[in-house]
Structure 1
Amino acid sequence: MTEWQPWRHVGPEPRKKGLVVVADHASNFVPDDIELGIENKLLGEHVALDIGVEGVAERMARRHGVPAHLACVSRLVCDLHREEDNPAVVPTTSDGHLIPGNIGADVEARLDRFHRPYHHALADWLDESDPGLIISLHSFTPALASKVEERPWEVALLYNTDDLPARHAIRLFGEQGLTVGDNQPYSGKELNATMNRHAEAHGRHYLAIEVRQDQIVTEAGQARWASMIADIAGRVALMLEAA
């Protein structure tokens, strides 16, 4: 029997200079031996996972040939898209919800069990595949419970210092008639942990794509966005190659 691990790979083997997709918040799984102390319904909400992302990434991998590295644990257990020393790596609150089981939690044990294996596996996978473009896939809620403003963007591109791929993608998504966020609803200069570590630190190009969750809550929406993201990312990769 295969030992459980906090990540899984879906789709074909990566090809050199090809596309790959990474989804840090693809799962709402909570191990039986961890008690978060929250209502079960919260596990289906955005505080526990990026709604719709697993379906999009699976379709990109299985139908469009983009290999995927997917998280297999909820962000409420250990947020894989945070630096190890970030206080929110084991969150005690999320969008106004208290996570009482995480108060006083053994953060080092959570890092050893979830965060480090996930990122070590991702590092090895990227070193072996040497992709031309990494797609970091996330989703955002149309509005936070703790804030009143609506978020009008159907999709957004985040970046820190490497904005060239994002510039191409913002234009291409805009040509689809979409309202596209440029480092919104939050900035990649402040929240870009996985791509800072595995892309920018190694000179790898990436697209950090945030899709608004109402766009991908259904299977039809997931199929539409999987196709669109795979197409646009492929076009961006060609532009980068030709530059």
Structure 2
Amino acid sequence: MNDFSPFQQINLDFEGRWLITCDHATNHIPAEFEPNLGLPQSEIDRHIAYDIGAKRVTIELARLLQSPAIYTQFSRLVIDPNRGERDPTLVRKLYDGTIIPANRYADHAEITRRLNTYHRPYHDAYRSLAARRPDTVICAVHSFTPQLTARARRPWQIGILSAADKRLTAPLIDAMRNSDALKSAAAELGEPLCIGDNEPYVGQFPGDAIATHTVAQNRPNVLIELRSDLIETPQTQLYWANLIAPILTDTLAKTGL
């Protein structure tokens, strides 16, 4: 592995309550899996390998909220850090119509090795960073593709995901739906503002990152999904982070959490 680290932490001296996380920050394939897990570069550049634009939004949100952040430095095609260790999609063999050759024959021993090398170190660091103060609030940043293969185009600009704990997510959805800034941003796109409530995905999977680091600890949390075509450039990533950060700050303050 040389000096490769499966995760990066930033803003460790910032004192904000938030911890901004990005489980699918990069499409980087570590050298041991070259060339590209047996895939052409065109597939590695797709959403199947990472959440396009989410890393820079994470970094900008952490700066704006004066809080630390943690993000992965390996593609989810190697192993998915937003899946529990027993999840059947932990190491994907097929994703949105694409077969991943290097994963095709990954057995229990290989999956365990990847857990120990990539997945578990990320979650160990995540756990320690979340525990730095007793009132940590988790904000996980993801992005979703505008359209899956052979599916209808998705109308949402932003999706807010949650499971049973809606202390922060329910008022955040209301605040976003009533935000003049977000309405203006949608209008500039020629679209009505559309904020998804557990769309385009269900709130949580057993053992996923949010469940692992918030449920037992009773930590307030939100998982934000941004449509990836809106955050493809550094300029648009900063733009959407600037739209979202004050809504997060105001909503958290109003909840009294």
1:232 aligns with 2:247: yes
Which residue of 108, 115, 118 maps to 1:114? 118
1:24 aligns with 2:27: no
Go from structure 1 to structure 2 and tell me whether the alpha carbon gap of 1:12 and 1:229 turns closer, same or farther (over 3 Å shift): farther
State the distance in 2 between where 1:165 and 1:198 align: 16
Which residue of 163, 168, 172 maps to 1:169? 172
Which residue of 217, 233, 250 maps to 1:202? 217
Q: Is the 8 A contact 1:161 1:189 kept in 2?
A: no
State the distance in 2 between where 1:12 and 1:174 align: 32
| Aligned position for 1:33 | 32
| Aligned position for 1:150 | 153
Which residue of 126, 132, 140 maps to 1:128? 132
Shift of 1:72: 0.7
1:71 aligns with 2:75: no
| Aligned position for 2:238 | 223
TM-score by length of 2: 0.87
State the distance in 2 between where 1:184 and 1:59 align: 24
1:9 aligns with 2:9: yes
Q: Is the 8 A contact 1:37 1:99 kept in 2?
A: yes
Shift of 1:199: 0.8
Give the match's secondary structure for 1:51.
Answer: coil
Deviation larger for 45-54 or 183-192: 183-192
What is the root-mean-square deviation of aligned Cα atoms in Å?
Answer: 1.8
Shift of 1:189: 4.1
Shift of 1:236: 2.0
Go from structure 1 to structure 2 and tell me whether the alpha carbon gap of 1:12 and 1:190 turns closer, same or farther (over 3 Å shift): closer
Q: Is the 8 A contact 2:23 2:72 kept in 1?
A: yes
Report the residue type matching 1:218 in the other structure: T
Report the residue type matching 1:223 in the other structure: L
Q: Which runs of 4+ in 1 moved over 3 A?
A: 129-132, 189-192
What is the identity percentage for the equivalent residue pairs of Structure 1 and Structure 2?
Answer: 32
State the distance in 2 between where 1:201 and 1:141 align: 31
Go from structure 1 to structure 2 and tell me whether the alpha carbon gap of 1:130 and 1:69 turns closer, same or farther (over 3 Å shift): farther
State the distance in 1 between where 2:152 and 2:128 align: 40
Q: Is the 8 A contact 2:85 2:207 kept in 1?
A: no
Go from structure 1 to structure 2 and tell me whether the alpha carbon gap of 1:164 and 1:47 turns closer, same or farther (over 3 Å shift): same
Go from structure 1 to structure 2 and tell me whether the alpha carbon gap of 1:228 and 1:235 turns closer, same or farther (over 3 Å shift): same
Report the residue type matching 1:15 in the other structure: E
Shift of 1:191: 7.2
| Aligned position for 1:81 | 82
Report the residue type matching 1:183 in the other structure: N
Deviation larger for 175-184 or 56-65: 56-65
Residues 44-95 of structure 1 deviation map (CA, whole Å, 9 limit, x = unaligned): 1100000000111122234542321111110001100000111211111111
Q: Is the 8 A contact 1:159 1:192 kept in 2?
A: no
Report the residue type matching 1:120 in the other structure: D
Q: Is the 8 A contact 1:15 1:129 kept in 2?
A: no
State the distance in 2 between where 1:122 and 1:104 align: 30
Paired positions, count = 239
Deviation larger for 35-44 or 45-54: 35-44
Go from structure 1 to structure 2 and tell me whether the alpha carbon gap of 1:19 and 1:189 turns closer, same or farther (over 3 Å shift): closer
Q: Is the 8 A contact 2:162 2:169 kept in 1?
A: yes
Shift of 1:175: 1.8
Structure 2 unmatched runs, 5+: 184-192
State the distance in 1 between where 2:223 and 2:201 align: 12
